[in-house]
């Protein structure tokens, strides 16, 4: 790369329910990258999965005017398989012979949330293309996205999780009574969640067994596989983890807490995270005893290592009044606007937003693709 700028392909949008959040995140990252150091190549993905040229003006990628949408375009973009030196290709979808080479890129920064972006699919494509990319690899992304297998990995690593029941589409269709019998053994309230969705999409808090079926139907709008998890009476504490340079130990941020005024039967859902944020604030560092902070930071790094994560992840915990911790989940592509928990945690740990981006790109560039 000598003295030339680092070409960074930023990919955003996508086919998941977190489409708009991904767009806003891309705008934030584009504004923060040093133009003297980086050349940004934006690639957008429509809701139907078509890759199109992205917006070059990041001011158009904000949530100020409401939810955002990647518009369809006659021109499509693709990343061919190869050794990482091949050019990106743009072409007219109706006249495939009209090809334009966009040049190669040094690194890809996928800012996609949910299925077909955070779940190992695009990571696998980039591995086939031989192009370095920011964040976790195929397995960590896939296992971290699926709340079922996330629990399996956490339990195998000896990390504490809340009791749960999984219902696949087939089990819910053919063995519903058996699934409900297992759910009846949990302590209510329970939370019914799509297994492979993020940003609290499709989650319902359920107080009685009779209401579980309707909650499952709501969750299945987002994913046919559903997880029913026993509620935990505790505070939500989060910790950001950053990979270590030259294969050194991962680094944990200070811990933070999400504080939001909710009705007694409410929870921290999509609307409170992104739209109705007036009563939401972050307490960083979280007001917990030093020994609890140390335990959470240690468990966050152990979670990162259990999944074989790379680059970045945010690990979320419940902290009970008795001081017991439960791992809620790991987020391999956490929210990444300047006001999202992951970068704000690092800001309070001494790593500002723009420098965090530099560090993540640096980690991606020092890591080879393929088996490692």
Please identify every residue annotated as catalytic: 18, 199, 340
Distance in angstroms (rounded) separating the CA atoms of residues 17 and 28: 19
- CA-closest candidate to residue 39, choices 26, 30, 52: 30
d(CA 37, CA 26): 18
Q: Residue 350 corresponds to which tokens in the numbers above?
A: 């001494």
- Smallest CA-to-CA distance from 338 within 282, 279, 254 is with 282
Residue 29 dihedral angles phi and psi, to the nearest 5°? -65, -45
| Three-state SS letters, 76-134 | EEECCCCCCCCCEEEEECCCCCCEEEEECCCEEEECCCCCCCCCCHHHHHHHHHCCCEC
Instruction: Give the closest residue to 71 by CA, choosing from 95, 92, 40, 45.
Output: 45
What is the DSSP secondary-structure string of 137-206? -HHHHHHHH-HHHHHHHHHHTT-----EEEE-HHHHHH-HHHHHHHHTTSPSSEEEEETT--TTTT-EEE
**Could you tell me if residue 323 is left (phi over 0), alpha (psi between -120 and 50 degrees) or otherwise beta?**
left
* DSSP assignment string, 191-212: EEEETT--TTTT-EEESSGGGH
Distance CA 292, CA 289 (A): 5
Contact 337, 353 (CB under 8 A): no
Under the phi-then-psi rule, with left for phi > 0, alpha for psi from -120 to 50, and beta for the rest, what region is 30?
A: alpha
Is 69 known to sit in a ligand binding site?
A: no
C-alpha 298/C-alpha 291 separation (Å) is 10
316 is an annotated ligand-binding site residue: yes
Annotated binding site: 316, 329, 331
Q: Which residue numbers belong to the known binding site for Mg(2+)?
A: 316, 329, 331
């Amino acid at each position: 790369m000598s003295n030339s700028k680092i070409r960074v392909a930023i990919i955003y949008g996508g086919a998941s329910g977190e489409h708009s959040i991904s767009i806003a995140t891309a705008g934030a990252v584009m504004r923060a990258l040093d133009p003297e150091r980086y050349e940004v190549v934006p690639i957008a993905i429509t809701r139907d999965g078509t890759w199109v040229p992205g917006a070059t003006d990041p001011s158009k990628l904000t949530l100020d005017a409401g939810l955002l949408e990647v518009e369809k375009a006659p021109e499509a973009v693709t990343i061919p398989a190869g050794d990482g030196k091949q050019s990106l290709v743009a072409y007219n979808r109706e006249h495939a012979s009209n090809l334009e080479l966009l040049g190669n890129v040094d690194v890809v920064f996928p800012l996609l949330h949910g299925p077909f972006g955070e779940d190992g699919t695009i990571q696998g494509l980039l591995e086939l293309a031989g192009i370095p990319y920011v964040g976790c690899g195929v397995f960590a992304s896939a296992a971290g996205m699926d709340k079922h297998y996330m629990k399996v990995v956490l339990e195998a690593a000896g990390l504490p999780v809340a009791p749960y029941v999984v219902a696949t589409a087939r089990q819910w269709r053919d063995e519903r009574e058996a699934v409900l019998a297992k759910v009846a053994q949990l302590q209510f309230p329970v939370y019914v969640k799509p297994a492979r969705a993020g940003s609290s999409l499709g989650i319902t808090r359920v107080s009685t067994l009779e209401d579980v079926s309707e909650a499952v139907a709501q969750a299945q709008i987002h994913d046919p596989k559903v997880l029913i998890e026993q509620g935990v009476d505790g505070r939500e504490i989060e910790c950001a983890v950053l990979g270590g340079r030259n294969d050194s130990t991962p680094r944990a941020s200070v811990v933070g807490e999400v504080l939001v005024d909710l009705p007694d039967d409410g929870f921290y859902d999509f609307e409170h995270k992104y739209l109705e944020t007036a009563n939401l604030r972050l307490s960083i560092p979280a007001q917990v005893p030093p020994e609890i902070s140390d335990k959470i930071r240690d468990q966050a790094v152990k979670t990162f290592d259990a999944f074989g994560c790379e680059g970045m992840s945010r690990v979320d915990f419940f902290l009970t009044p008795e001081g017991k911790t439960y791992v809620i989940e790991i987020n391999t592509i956490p929210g990444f606007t300047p006001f999202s928990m992951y970068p704000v945690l690092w800001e309070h740990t001494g790593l500002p937003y723009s420098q965090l981006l530099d560090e993540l790109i640096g980690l991606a560039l020092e890591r080879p693709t393929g088996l490692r």
